[in-house]
Amino acid sequence: MDENELKLLWSLSSTTQSVTIDEGQLLQSISKQVAMMERKVRKRDFREISVAVVMMFFFSWVLLRIPAVIGKVGATIIVLNCMVVIYKLLRARVKITTDNTQNALTYLDSSLKGIQKQIKLLNTVLWWYILPFGIGVLCVYCSSGHSPQNKVIYSLAVVMICSFTYYLNRRAVTRNLRPLEEQLKKLIKDLTI
Amino acid sequence: MHQDMETAFGRLIKENKDRIFRICLFYAKDEEDQKDLFQEISLNIWRSLPKFRYESKIETWIYRIALNVCLQYKLSAKRSHVDWVKIESVNVADNVENIQDKLENSELLRRLNYCISKLNEADRSITLLFLEDLSYREIAGISGLSENHVAVKITRIKKRLTDCFST
């Protein structure tokens, strides 16, 4: 079978089926989809940022009220860390879109870079999210007047929550992002060899 | 302005629906997925329309978007599914006039699809553009490879397809 026969055969694949489009309905469907996606992104951003803002205000108040130095240090760590989280979330939101009018190689390359940034973000989550919050919360609680037994139980609970959060992030990297990164790398390699 | 864009979009989809649908047939197996992919490509065309600068042919630009959407679809297919608002704006029906052609060609088409499925994802994308009768220059513009590289790849692909057909 030669080149022209292959192309002719291929062109027949769409003549055996007829596609009818209702442009009005398609536009309506697209508008709904765009609105739904924007709403979803707005909700997620609002949820994540508002939690950080509420925590920032709450621990600023704690910082002013708490007399012990160790408690003040803990509250300061949390307030500063909330600022870092808000900054990181806002920055990630700005850079999340990949222009799909680029050629495939550039598109795949920027998708790969995006995935690698997400992997880096989650791989370092222990240092910029879990540890500062964990240490801050422990400092604030330990400086309060609770019994030593309560302090031990509370500290263990905080360590468990932090470990679980870390585990979830690691799992997201190994289950979702790494395979996607490998697939993208393979696709780029196959395209360029 | 918005009205102009809606008119331009409607015309664009009407003129290119078969082309877009062939790409959907290539990347998605069942009819629901094909319709979803069609809507996904249309959505991306709609969102990118204000960025179109007439520096390339509109068909090449559509192929570029469609290919990127389809590659993304293939990559994310195993993880999650696009949750589309269900509106029956795309309908597919067997073309009665071409039933005879369909019967005669279905075996060959099946064979062609089988041979294409043996290629890797990147070569499959190049094969699609080649079968769509695009020039090497256009394929280079869509894929991001040089024209020479495209020529080498297509020679290799043609040989593999011919070998597959002859076995």
Tell me if B167 is assigned to some domain.
Answer: no
Tell me if B78 is assigned to some domain.
Answer: yes
pLDDT exceeds 60 at position B130:
yes
Domain count, chain B: 1
Model pLDDT for residues A172-185, shown as the tens digit of each residue: 999 988 998 998 89
The answer to whether A154 and A146 have CB atoms below 8 angstroms apart is: yes
What would the mean pLDDT of B121-136 be, rounded to a whole number? 90
Domain that holds residue B77: 1-83
Residue count of chain A, please give it: 193
What are the CB-based long-range contacts (under 8 Å, 24+) for A64-69?
A66/A140, A66/A143, A66/A144, A68/A143, A68/A144, A69/A143
Lowest mean pLDDT among A78-82, A173-177, B16-20, B96-100: B96-100
CA distance A62 to A143: 12
Q: Is the CB of residue B63 less than 8 Å away from at least one CB of chain A?
A: no
pLDDT exceeds 70 at position B81:
no
- The sign one gets for the Cα dihedral A126, A130, A136, A139 is negative
CA distance A151 to B52: 62
Tell me if B98 is assigned to some domain.
Answer: no
Domain count, chain A: 1
pLDDT exceeds 60 at position A84:
yes
Tell me if B39 is assigned to some domain.
Answer: yes
Is residue A48 classed as helix, strand or coil in its secondary structure?
helix
Give the closest residue to B108 by CA, choosing from A18, A1, A14: A1
The answer to whether B47 and B5 have CB atoms below 8 angstroms apart is: no
Q: How many CB atoms lie within 10 A of CB B94?
A: 11
Model pLDDT for residues A101-143, shown as the tens digit of each residue: 888 899 889 889 988 988 998 899 899 889 999 999 999 998 8
Tell me if A86 is assigned to some domain.
Answer: yes
What would the mean pLDDT of B51-60 be, rounded to a whole number? 81
Tell me if B106 is assigned to some domain.
Answer: no
Question: Which tokens go with A46?
Answer: 């609002």
Domain that holds residue A53: 24-192
pLDDT exceeds 80 at position A45:
no
Nearest to B68 among A13, A27, A100 (CB): A100
What would the mean pLDDT of A131-160 be, rounded to a whole number? 90
Nearest to A190 among B38, B101, B122 (CB): B122
A64 vs A40: which has the higher pLDDT: A64
Tell me if A154 is assigned to some domain.
Answer: yes
Tell me if A13 is assigned to some domain.
Answer: no
Tell me if B77 is assigned to some domain.
Answer: yes
pTM of the predicted model as reported, rounded to 2 decimal places: 0.79
| Model pLDDT, residue A32 | 79
Alpha helices, DSSP H, located in chain A: 3-15, 23-65, 69-94, 104-123, 125, 131-142, 148-172, 178-192
Tell me if A4 is assigned to some domain.
Answer: no
CA distance B10 to B85: 19
| Model pLDDT, residue B144 | 92
ipTM: 0.79
Alpha helices, DSSP H, located in chain B: 2-27, 31-48, 58-76, 99-117, 121-131, 136-143, 147-166
* Distance separating the N- and C-terminal Cα atoms of chain A: 26
Contact A23 B13 (CB under 8 A): yes
| Model pLDDT, residue B137 | 92
Residue of A nearest to B47 (CA): A34
Tell me if A108 is assigned to some domain.
Answer: yes
Tell me if A16 is assigned to some domain.
Answer: no
pLDDT exceeds 70 at position B16:
yes
| Model pLDDT, residue B106 | 75
CA distance B159 to B167: 12
Tell me if A6 is assigned to some domain.
Answer: no
Instruction: Give the position of tokens 């220059």.
Output: B137
Q: Is the CB of residue B35 less than 8 Å away from at least one CB of chain A?
A: no
CATH at residue B1: 1.10.1740.10
Tell me if A2 is assigned to some domain.
Answer: no
Model pLDDT for residues B149-158, shown as the tens digit of each residue: 999 999 999 8
Torsion from C-alpha of A140, A142, A145, A151, nearest 10 degrees:
130
Alpha helices, DSSP H, located in B49-131: 58-76, 99-117, 121-131
pLDDT exceeds 70 at position B98:
no
Mean pLDDT, chain A, as a whole number?
85
Tell me if B108 is assigned to some domain.
Answer: no
Residue of B nearest to A34 (CA): B43
